[in-house]
């Protein structure tokens, strides 16, 4: 396991669609382990392979207090509730800024596990938000794209200012 460098906004890879994983092998399992380590070091509660520059459909989520990480290969949302919730989101590729985003309150997701078996499960609340956020990332939709233009522009300015202060 290794902590990999995280690509930062506005890297164009954050807007690229990730490719499906064809075969779950030791390389994919090693990438999942690296993603978990990288996510913990960031720190964060969710990460995708594109966050470390690997354009493959792999997601790792581990909510605070969660014992086991949720690792999904080629996840897809197959159903979402009409009800929505608002939750404050951010990204390990854009640290230091966040904003409230509206998402479906519940989703059903289908994915393959590292055991190469297909799984389907429902999630609600924070887990549903995380799943939608990370699948958006796999589809090349960066979380700030869910904000109004005004909020997005303000947030980018705030992030740019934070980056100048760190430099």
Instruction: List all residues 6 or more positions away from 72 whose beta carbon is below 8 Å from its beta carbon.
Output: 58, 59, 61, 109, 111, 112, 113, 119
Considering the candidates 27, 64, 100, 134, report the single residue annotated as catalytic: 134
Active site residue 19: no
Q: Are strands 84-91 and 46-48 parallel, antiparallel or unpaired?
A: unpaired
Residue whose entry in the numeric block shows the structure tokens 């300015």 = 157
Element (H, E) at 133: helix 125-138
- Residues annotated as part of the active site: 134
């Amino acid at each position: 396991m290794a902590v990999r460098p995280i690509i930062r906004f506005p890297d164009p890879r954050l807007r690229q669609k990730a490719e499906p994983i064809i075969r779950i092998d030791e390389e994919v399992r090693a990438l999942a382990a690296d993603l978990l380590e990288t996510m913990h070091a960031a720190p964060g509660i969710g990460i995708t392979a594109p966050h470390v520059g690997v354009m493959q459909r792999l997601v790792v989520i581990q909510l605070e207090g969660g014992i086991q990480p949720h690792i999904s290969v080629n996840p897809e949302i197959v159903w979402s509730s009409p009800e929505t919730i608002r939750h404050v989101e951010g990204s390990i590729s854009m640290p230091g800024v966040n904003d409230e985003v509206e998402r479906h309150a519940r989703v059903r997701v289908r994915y393959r596990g590292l055991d190469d078996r297909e799984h389907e499960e429902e999630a609600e609340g924070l887990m549903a938000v995380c799943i939608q956020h990370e699948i958006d990332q796999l589809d090349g939709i960066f979380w700030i794209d869910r904000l109004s233009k005004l909020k997005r522009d303000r947030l980018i300015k705030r992030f740019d200012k934070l980056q100048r202060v760190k430099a």
